[in-house]
Structure 1
Amino acid sequence: MNSDDLGYIRCAAKWLETGVMTFGSDRPTAFVGPVFPAILALIFAVFGSDDTGVQAVRYIQALLGVLSVFLTYRLVERLTEGRTALVAAFLMAIYPPNILVNGLLLTETVYTVLHLGYLFLLVKLSHEEQLSEKAELFLFGLLGAYTALLTLTRATAALFPAVFMIYLLWRRRYAFQNWLRNGVIVLLVFSVSMSPWWVRNYIAFDRFIPFSSGAGEPLLLGTYIEMEELVDGSAPDWPVGDDEVDAQEKYKQFAIERLKENVPKEPLRYLKWYTWGKFMYMWSNPFMWKPIWWSFRHAVDFIHQLLMTLALAGMGTALWRWWHRREELRARGGLWLDEVPGDRWGAGGRLVGTLLLLSVPLYYTALHNIYFGFARYNIPFLPIIFCFSAYAIIEGVDKMLGARKGDYGRSGLFR
């Protein structure tokens, strides 16, 4: 343990001891959300905050890791069919960084399980056609509360409902009045669910902090192309603040000054960094904790890059088939069905919610491109990536086994 994990352990232990949530100091914090420290505190209340408590967290996270494999299977089965779901779950189970993060006291394991539940809710709201008005109102309220839960785990989740509501307006062809009503319900329930955090922050810091006080540091980190000039995640010329909130505000101002000074000197280099460069920094390599399994690094790099390549192939195949069969879709209601029509041509011939699934990694990637992100931040979205990897694998297997439209081809392991 040599990173935020130590901060989370001390945060949870001190919270139990003093009733005040801190992080890295004795003062109250809004640098991190309260959900993960609260989970640690509950476990420490039973097992203690020493090595026994830490090991208890790891065992519980290992069980959550298994649960994420099962939820991946159920989600992908709902969107495609059983063979693709089985392969996606298998990839979740054997992908080395997925195993690694279960032993680290960081937000990834908990957030992965929570986000899988969120995806089930998004799919139900966008693709369940037989919802009564009361059920619909309840589910939109649940969406607001669930978004607050995710936001209090990771602040980056806060704005995703805006993306989803735009998708819904296109996908469900809502009357604008109904769509607006549902959006207001999401916003109101989200605000009510977040209000204890807002009140607590106002009392502690005498200012309104909606999500996190920690935006300044990732914004500043993101101004360093390829992490040049940084040593252990910082640089000697960084400003020093009087407290956490003041430091983050100074980091923000320093980041803006750096961009004003450096972008005119190297505009193309910064343009590349804030688009393709950060995208590759986040997705091209796996997350590996250096002291752990480092001897496997080359093998894990190969596995990661193979799975990402397969995912791109699966995304391209699904989008091509969705567009190529637009005439068939138009007869059933139009391209906004966001569904590859079902037949027996590869992967069950069916994939529901292609654009919905793609909107999630695109949203988080765009957000991290503004700030800073690396491979660990993407682990909760691997179920989506592996859904497309599995889709490509099953497509390939069907082709090799001689599947043809209208028939299942030869029998085999995947039939």
Structure 2
Amino acid sequence: MDKDRSSENGHKMILGAILFLALVLRFGVVYVQGPELLLNSDDRWYVQSAANWLTTGTMTFCSDSPSAFIGPVYPAFLAVIFSAFGSDDQGLQAVRYGQAFLGVLIVLLTYLLARRVTEPRTALLAAFLMSFYPPNILINGLFLTETLFTFFNLAYMLLLVKLSHEDQLSEKGETFLFGLLGAFTALLALTRATSALYPAVFMVYLLWRRKLPLQRWFRNGLVLCMAFCIFMSPWWIRNYVQFDRFIPFSTGAGDPLLLGTYVDMEGIVDGVGPDWPTGNGELDLQEKYKQYAIERLKENVPKEPWRYLKWYTVGKFLLMWGGPFMWPSIWDNLRPWVDYYHQYLMIFAFGGAALALWRWWNRRKDLEGIGGGLQHDQVPRDRWGAGGQFLGPLLLLSIPVYYSILHNLYFGFGRYNIPFMPLVLLFVSYFIVEVYDVLMGVRKGDYAKGILR
């Protein structure tokens, strides 16, 4: 008992040191480099959108006309801070410090998620890696959706794990949590529209994982959908009044769809092709982009089917996951080191995912003893390591798989992998701790040796 209490206190001290490190790095970068952290890209339009919203009451993007090109959550986040500090340099720095604080909370949520599904050493290592991974620090100082979305998404994942692996929920408690999941999905979708369809994946997973009676499953799904619609309805009403049409999430799908038709980004300069059509306003332009994207695919896929097949599978996957997000004009001297570091992280993450899946598959007979067989999405402890156990590896893997498929249909690059780096680093940490246990000769039930205790 004393050893357990001592170990728990030691873990808390280490976690405190990791959070302090995360705080110093993020606040230090904002303090030293704050005014330099501008891309003059999407960030400029987010800032303009929030400032216009405050002064005119109208949400805009890239112009002074009403817009539904992006969801309203991130501009609203900026507008709240601007309302207190202004939208000048002081207000911009306030946003950066606010996002830096969210970055520290993201490290904490990474620990809490990893602790919930694995064990303390893996959780501490994941939080430590998250605290100093350079793109995670850099993004906190930029006016982009990634910081806010990562924070929301980690809280969302904790809710998913609770709903799928908590067996002590009352009927009322379960109903409440599914309503909360619907509201949370709306929040995510209004930050990034790609989130909207993930609940369909989760509900299929839940039916498989928990073998819920169909009536209960349908009831929970209905509660989820109702809460989602209720929280989305102000946006839907605003768009219908403003544009006289139903716009469920955003009007910005045409741009990434068209961009994604250019294999290896050939012919693209500053995110635009020289032959892109022009339009009369946002809605018309995005519709023309969609039509032109379809025309390009109809014309080019028959000519080079294998090249396009590779691009829409491996090519776009590597574009999104193969490198870190490091803006060329910022931290140039770190770029080669961060490239190598990211690539090693991805290799270790694949190793951790493969190890978890291999253990899960090979221990399925043991799981049958506690009922359900493969329906139990967990890796039980085994003789190969003191940590061993992993709860919900398939659930967690479904999230990057879902977003990878969506971005393969449209477009993605290194910036879009940042919200899912906590999951990547969780699997990295799982792999490192398990390999460490094997090398140190640790077995099931033993007290770990060395520094990773």
Is the Cα contact below 8 Å between 2:69 and 2:251 reproduced in 1?
yes
Distance 1:84 1:73 in 2: 9
Q: Structure 1: 5+ residue runs without aligned partners?
A: none
Q: Which residue of 2 aligns with 1:111?
A: 149
Distance 1:93 1:224 in 2: 35
- 1:127 offset after TM fit, Å? 0.2
SS in 2 for 1:33: coil
Would you say 1:184 and 2:184 are equivalent positions? no
Would you say 1:336 and 2:375 are equivalent positions? yes
Distance 2:107 2:164 in 1: 23
Q: Deviations over 1:172-217 (max 9, x none)?
A: 1011111111111111110111010000001111111000100000
- 1:30 offset after TM fit, Å? 0.4
Distance 1:384 1:344 in 2: 25
Normalised to the residue count of structure 2, the TM-score between the two structures is 0.90
Q: Deviations over 1:277-327 (max 9, x none)?
A: 100110011110111111111100111001100000000000000001111
Distance 1:170 1:385 in 2: 24
Would you say 1:165 and 2:191 are equivalent positions? no
Is the Cα contact below 8 Å between 2:386 and 2:444 reproduced in 1?
no
* Aligned counterpart in structure 1 of residue 433 of structure 2, from 391, 394, 402: 394
Q: For 2:311, give the aligned amino acid.
A: W
Distance 2:362 2:434 in 1: 16
* Aligned counterpart in structure 1 of residue 338 of structure 2, from 287, 300, 314: 300
Q: Which residue of 2 aligns with 1:379?
A: 418
SS in 2 for 1:161: helix
Is the Cα contact below 8 Å between 2:386 and 2:446 reproduced in 1?
no
Map 1:254-265; keep pairs closer than 5 Å.
254-265=292-303
Distance 1:62 1:407 in 2: 39
Is the Cα contact below 8 Å between 2:387 and 2:444 reproduced in 1?
no
* Aligned counterpart in structure 2 of residue 351 of structure 1, from 390, 393, 405: 390
Would you say 1:321 and 2:359 are equivalent positions? yes
- Where in structure 1 do 4 or more consecutive aligned residues deviate above 2 Å? 342-347, 404-409
Distance 1:235 1:349 in 2: 50
Distance 1:405 1:10 in 2: 56
* Aligned counterpart in structure 1 of residue 245 of structure 2, from 194, 207, 210: 207
Q: Percent identity over the alignment? A: 65
Q: Deviations over 1:210-266 (max 9, x none)?
A: 001000000000000010011111112111110001100000000000000000000
* Aligned counterpart in structure 2 of residue 242 of structure 1, from 277, 280, 286: 280
Distance 1:162 1:126 in 2: 14
Would you say 1:135 and 2:173 are equivalent positions? yes
Q: Which residue of 1 aligns with 2:122?
A: 84
Would you say 1:369 and 2:369 are equivalent positions? no
Q: Structure 2: 5+ residue runs without aligned partners?
A: 1-37
Distance 2:370 2:82 in 1: 55
CA RMSD of aligned residues (A): 1.0
SS in 1 for 2:369: helix
Distance 1:26 1:347 in 2: 59
Would you say 1:19 and 2:57 are equivalent positions? yes
